[in-house]
Amino acid sequence: MTSLPPIEQFRSSTGARIYRIPVEAFPQFIAYCYLIFDAGPITLVDTGSGYGNSNEYLLAGIRAVHDDFGEPFQVGDIQRILITHGHIDHFGGVDFMVEQTGAQVGIHPIDRRVLTAYEERVIVATKDLRVYLERAGVKPELRGALMEMYGFSKKHVRSVPVDITLKTGTPLDGMRFFHTPGHCPGQVCILLGDVFLSADHVLSRTTPHQAPESITHYTGLGHYMESLAQVRLIGGVRVALGGHEDPIYDMYSRIEEIFASHRRKLERVLDIIRAADAPITISDMSKAMYPDKQGYEILMALEEVGAHVEYLYEHGEIAVRNLDEVEREDNPALRYGVE
């Protein structure tokens, strides 16, 4: 197995002990799960992807919390599994961990069906993505390749029942939940005293990935920036621990950097549209903005650009210029111009 960052212990001002456990969710892609003691029953936050060796890493990490940090417990003592959001690198191992522990599972209501009716979500989400890629003007050959890549990691997951609902304003054993839609519809962050589990809402290096709401309701840049503004108002966060990357010791300035990054991307998209000879598709904007992307990253770029185009369109800064075609044909590419 690949060598991963060490397990780290964090102590919250409530006295809870929080262990950060790395897993290799996908090749070369590390995700963090958190094991929490002294905030009610022993609680695991997120479960890795369930893909490849992810489950083995997680189990080994949990055992190391016992062996190396002297926490007197066994895997079977974990009574709660909280899922921060319905992305596979965070919940893919949930059925395995439920099997190992018999724990109750919690998630935000909007992402609940990702866990309880996984097959339905995959089929519907795949269709919505296909429609989006057509509308973005992606050529059929690339579209087929991207859809295949999208589907590959999603075959191994089984649905599980959900017992606990994570909602803003409904605390649980000292944990406060904040619904922060944007990166994912049911994204939840968890505040435990002065420690903030920021999941994929705030990350230390990467600006969390955005996709347009036209693919999935309750995502989109508008929701994301509102959620970011909401988190900025939470006082007293000493350290934010994300679902990936490093601990963030100044979350408030990191939030400002993320805002600035999106403002730059919005400007960049506007510049690309202005510079084009004719009204332009999201696919062409994406190529201009991210010319070097390969493989799965092309899909990520198409979603990221689409989220910014959607935001500009919602705010009346750009317009659809090929209305005749849109009216006449099934699902043609939309072509944008600056308003």
The residues that touch Zn ion, with contacts defined as CB under 5 A, are: 87, 89, 200, 243
Least CB distance to Zn ion at residue 245 (A): 10
Q: Cβ 89 to Zn ion, closest distance in Å?
A: 4
Least distance from Zn ion to the Cβ atom of residue 181, Å? 12
Tokens coding 149: 């890549």
Nearer to Zn ion (CB atom), residue 307 or residue 312 = 307
Residue position matching structure tokens 């693919």: 215
How far is the C-alpha of 51 from the C-alpha of 73, rounded, in Å? 26
Closer CB to Zn ion, residue 89 or residue 310?
89
Q: Which is nearer to Zn ion, 188 or 285 (CB)?
A: 188
DSSP-assigned beta bridge partners for residue 104: 80
Four-residue CA torsion sign, 19, 25, 31, 36: negative
- To the nearest whole angstrom, how small is the minimum distance from the Cβ of residue 336 to Zn ion? 27
Q: Which residue do the tokens 């075959």 mark?
A: 155
Shortest spacing between CB 277 and Zn ion, in angstroms = 37
Q: Which is nearer to Zn ion, 12 or 187 (CB)?
A: 187
Nearer to Zn ion, 37 or 96 (CB): 96
Cα distance between residue 135 and residue 165, in whole Å: 35
To the nearest whole angstrom, how small is the minimum distance from the Cβ of residue 15 to Zn ion?
28
Strands 80-82 and 104-107: parallel
Q: Which two tokens stand for residue 96?
A: 């395995």
Q: Give the residue with the Cβ less far from Zn ion, 89 or 95.
A: 89
* Nearer to Zn ion among residue 14 and residue 204 (C-beta): 204
Nearest approach in angstroms of CB 257 to Zn ion is: 19
- Closest to 309 (Cα-Cα) out of 283, 278, 332: 283
